[in-house]
Amino acid sequence: MMIELKDVTKLYSNENVEFLALKGVTFQVEKGEFVAIMGPSGSGKSTLMHILGALDTPTSGTYRLDGKDVSTMNEHDLADMRSKKIGFVFQSFNLLRRATVLRNVMLPLMYAGVPKEQRKDRAIKALKSAGLDEQYFNHLSNQLSGGQMQRVAIARALVNDPAIILADEPTGNLDTKTGEFVLGTFQRLNDEGHTIILITHERDVAEHAKRILVIRDGQMQKEEVNHQRRIQSAT
């Protein structure tokens, strides 16, 4: 099992105020799945995303990623887990705007200690897998369209061959047509064997996944197996 959450809670305390953001969340994700976690603002999905991404730990309960117990890790171990096991794709892209496309994608390889002679080849492979045309590889990221920037962000998430790709509202800054192409890229990557977890508040976006988990008020409300997921070309 790639991901296992059992009775996960998250309690936030500020002075004399306490807020229980997650209330005993339990679910599993198998290797090679494409799962959407859907919920409105304030549902707990962002808190859950932070825990899944090893950006935070549960107050109680257990979270295992690829067989390792993330819920008991310290900051150093969490950082190591993030760099080796998780590829992030964010709504705001988080690219270095005055760095080239290739450099943006090579950066995680530098931090991971990958030899210099391997970085460019791996970055090119990831960019091609994400569907970005080769003519843009030496462009600065601030010279790209929103859809192109998101493809670079997907390539950056892929480049270290992570156990999961965690996409947080990845189409939030894109127009509808461009968003559909980006979601089509995720579908193709999933068809190639990548495990993908998509965080969204939109039903239309969630319907690109094969399984939908609905969260509300910090609890999993229901699970839907999506037998007729929306299909969009990634080309």
61-99 pLDDT, tens digit each? 999 999 999 998 999 999 989 988 999 999 999 999 889
Give me the domains of the chain, ranges plus CATH numbers. 3-225 (3.40.50.300)
Residue 156's closest CA among 200, 182, 122, 118? Answer: 122
Q: How far apart are CA 22 and CA 15, in angstroms?
A: 19
Chain-wide mean pLDDT for the chain?
92
Would you state the pLDDT for residue 119?
A: 95
Q: How far apart are CA 121 and CA 224, in angstroms?
A: 39
Q: Dihedrals φ, ψ of 6, to 5°? A: -135, 115
Helix (H) or strand (E) holding 121: helix 116-129
**What average pLDDT does range 214-231 have in this prediction?**
86
* Number of C-beta neighbours around residue 62 at 10 A: 15
Give the pLDDT band (50/70/90) at residue 231: low
**What average pLDDT does range 33-43 have in this prediction?**
95
Is residue 212 scored above 70 in pLDDT? Answer: yes
Look up the pTM and report it.
0.90
User: pLDDT tens-digit profile of 15-34?
Assistant: 788 999 999 999 999 999 99
Contact 152, 96 (CB under 8 A): no
Is residue 228 scored above 90 in pLDDT? Answer: no
Helix (H) or strand (E) holding 17: strand 17-29
Would you state the pLDDT for residue 232?
A: 56
Give the pLDDT band (50/70/90) at residue 102: very high
Say which residues have a Cβ less than 8 Å from residue 157's Cβ, sequence separation at least 6: 87, 88, 89, 165, 167
Is residue 163 scored above 70 in pLDDT? Answer: yes
User: pLDDT tens-digit profile of 118-138?
Assistant: 999 999 999 999 999 999 999
Q: How far apart are CA 3 and CA 111, in angstroms?
A: 25
In the block, residue with structure tokens 């935070």? 56
Give the pLDDT band (50/70/90) at residue 233: very low
Is residue 169 scored above 50 in pLDDT? Answer: yes
Is residue 210 scored above 70 in pLDDT? Answer: yes
Say which residues have a Cβ less than 8 Å from residue 227's Cβ, sequence separation at least 6: none
